Structures are given as structure tokens and as C-alpha cells.
Structure 1
């Protein structure tokens, strides 16, 4: 049985430990080849305990995507966390989003969600909600406040900005046309391994 600091993990702590272990198993072998046996072994717990927390592999996978969302949003933060100037704040926010989405483990997570979609249709929607919908909402809220736009106009502007500054590189990395970022994103919202100049040009042209 898994232990931390000499004491047995229980409840929510064990559930989170299982999810972190399951995330690694899914990334290493894919959705179809991953088994509840492998997850239990990686987590150092019993299958009985695993099934007590997650009654099926499908539900475990969707819970892993919820965990990915939590971890990702903690690293992404909000535009206002990056700079006082709105153009620079949006530039760095979009750059950070690109950095996170083109980081190698996140690229594998996206591919994993796509590969599971026929067996588990909710997985693609869950991944989109985790990685895109939440980001669009944060950016749209910031734009609405700074530029006095209604929610629909702010969302349209957010989607346009991300489409023009982020998604092309994300698709190239997903298709192996460009290498993924290997260095893990830091916790301090620093934007690394991203060319900010073209992002800044687009954001400046749209918002200035």
C-alpha cells in the first residue's frame, strides 16, 4: 500500500496520487493499452482500492483530464498576472499558452485524447474544456474589463487573437512538423522557448 512520510495515504490524498500515477501510465502506453492493473501497480495500491475511487478506466481517464486542467490553469494564470500594460499582458499570456500547449507531455496528452475519442467521445470535449475553453474564458474576461466589450465580443476577440498567435504552432507541433518543448514550464509564469515578437505584433495591431 502506498505510503507518504511513513503514513498510509487515504481519501482525497490517495485519489490524487492515483490520478498522477494514471496520468503517467496513459501517457506512456496510450489509452487502449493502459490497464487498471498497471495503474494500481504504478500507484502502489490494490485494484480494490483503485476501483473504490474510480469504477472504470473510462472514468479514471476523464478524471485525469480534470487533474490536467487543474495543473495547467495553475501554470497559465490570468493575463493581468503578466504585465500592467494590456498589450504586453495579452502578448505574454498568449505566449505562455503556446509554451504550455507545445510542451512535450502536453502534446502527448492532446494526442492521447484524440486517440481515445472513438472509444470515449467525452474525452475530446473534456480536453477542449480543460485546455481551450478555460483559457478563452480568462482572456475574454480580461478583454471585456480592459476594453469595455460585451461578453460575446470579448470572446470573439479572444478566439481571434489565439487563432492568430498560438494555434498554427500548436498544430505544427502536434503533427511533428516542429519539435515540442522539452523544458518543463516553470511555476513563475515565465514565458520561455516561444518567439514573442510575432505574437506582440499581432496583439499590438489588434488592441492598440
Structure 2
């Protein structure tokens, strides 16, 4: 039975995500997306009136998927410090995945033309991650919101952002396999994150 309504829209988004990642924005075409999604161009344009609008919607999908996979620090461990360490490790692991690296590069490449999509991507990758960590630290470590935000940014800035930047520039090889939460310690060196957490978090954390 042919897909319709929201099911078709979702299917188009998943298909378009793969097309954009494989070919880049400029070489991707609505013809290719329609063909791969096995739908008509008329149906495609009924859901997304332009390639720009489709790209913005794909970024929304990526944001949803990423934040769902990341979760919150409290999902990772009962111990406060270990939960923060594993959360940062999971963030880095997800961003070092080959598809994530391509997505961020794509967002950077289209930032001038599509600032809305770039802002959505930034919010998902950096802002939302830092906010979740800060909220956790404020609750567990009895820090003020300002203190918690500063500690979260310092922890991420020291341990995650440099490695991510290296991957974006092609200095480090990305992870080829889908990153599973059970493999955080295998995919990411947690020792520097633990050391930074020891220095930055309150002693009783």
C-alpha cells in the first residue's frame, strides 16, 4: 500500500537525509529524492515546496534523532561525576560518527544560505547538550545556574570540542559504525574527561 500523509513525509525526510549526506546540498536534487523515496515529484513538493525547506526539515529530523540518542546525564550512572563523564563521552562518540561529521560539515557549508538550518544544528549539537549537562550539575552539585553553565561549558570545551574539531577538519578518522551506548569506553578515551571532571566538579560530586 502506498505511503500517505505523515508516513510519506517521514519517509521522504529519511530518504532526503541520506541524499544530502551522500551528495551534499548543491548536488542533491528533488528529482533524486523523489526517485529514491519512490514517490512523485508532485507528492514531494506537496510536503516540501523547495529544496531549502526540505533541508531545514531534515535538520529538524537530525536534531530529534540526536537528542533522543544522547539523553540526559542522569541516564548514564547514579554517581554524579561518572554520569557527567559518560554523558560527555556519549556526546563525543555520537559526534565522531561519520554521518554526524558529514552533517555538521554540511551545516557549516550551507550556513550563509540557510542560517535557520545552521542555527537548528548548532542548538542541537552544542546548546542543548550544554544545557542538559548544566541542568544536571545544578541539581546534583547544588550550583547556581551560572556556575553550572560555566562548569558544563568548561568540561565540554576541554575534553570534547577539540577532538570534534579535529574530526571536522579530517585530522582524526571518524567512527564508521553506528555508535552504541554500550561501546562508549571503546570508542572514546574517557581518561581525559574523568581528569577534567575531577578538576572542575565540586569535590563531593
Query: If the length of structure 2 is used for normalisation, what is the TM-score?
Result: 0.94
Q: What does the per-residue CA deviation read over 1:96-129, in whole Å, with 9 as the maximum and x for residues that have no partner?
A: 0000011101000011111111221222211101
- The match for 1:60 is 54
Report the Cα distance in structure 2 between the residues aligned to 1:185 and 1:14, rounded to whole angstroms. 27
Out of 175-184 and 153-162, give the one that drifted further: 153-162
Whether the 8 Å CA contact 1:22–1:64 is kept in 2: the answer is yes
Partner of 1:195, secondary structure, is: coil
Report the Cα distance in structure 2 between the residues aligned to 1:30 and 1:123, rounded to whole angstroms. 14
In the alignment, structure 1 residue 114 sits paired with structure 2 residue 113:
no
Whether the 8 Å CA contact 1:32–1:116 is kept in 2: the answer is no
CA-CA distance at 1:149 after TM superposition: 2.0
Given candidates 23, 40, 60, the residue that maps to 1:46 is 40
In the alignment, structure 1 residue 201 sits paired with structure 2 residue 187:
no
In the alignment, structure 1 residue 151 sits paired with structure 2 residue 145:
yes
Out of 130-139 and 97-106, give the one that drifted further: 130-139
In the alignment, structure 1 residue 132 sits paired with structure 2 residue 116:
no
Whether the 8 Å CA contact 1:78–1:93 is kept in 2: the answer is yes
Report the Cα distance in structure 1 between the residues aligned to 2:5 and 2:129, rounded to whole angstroms. 30
Whether the 8 Å CA contact 1:94–1:162 is kept in 2: the answer is yes
Query: Per the alignment, do residues 143 and 153 of structure 1 end up closer, same or farther by CA in structure 2, a change over 3 Å counting?
Result: same
- The match for 2:9 is 15
- The match for 2:74 is 80
> Which stretches in structure 1 are left out of the alignment for 5+ residues?
1-6
Whether the 8 Å CA contact 2:76–2:87 is kept in 1: the answer is yes
Report the Cα distance in structure 1 between the residues aligned to 2:183 and 2:9, rounded to whole angstroms. 30
CA-CA distance at 1:86 after TM superposition: 0.7
Q: What does the per-residue CA deviation read over 1:74-113, in whole Å, with 9 as the maximum and x for residues that have no partner?
A: 1111101111111100000000000001110100001111
Whether the 8 Å CA contact 1:103–1:184 is kept in 2: the answer is yes
Given candidates 98, 101, 114, the residue that maps to 1:104 is 98
CA-CA distance at 1:150 after TM superposition: 2.5
Whether the 8 Å CA contact 1:107–1:174 is kept in 2: the answer is yes
Given candidates 179, 190, 203, the residue that maps to 1:185 is 179
- The match for 2:27 is 33
Query: If the length of structure 1 is used for normalisation, what is the TM-score?
Result: 0.93
CA-CA distance at 1:174 after TM superposition: 0.6
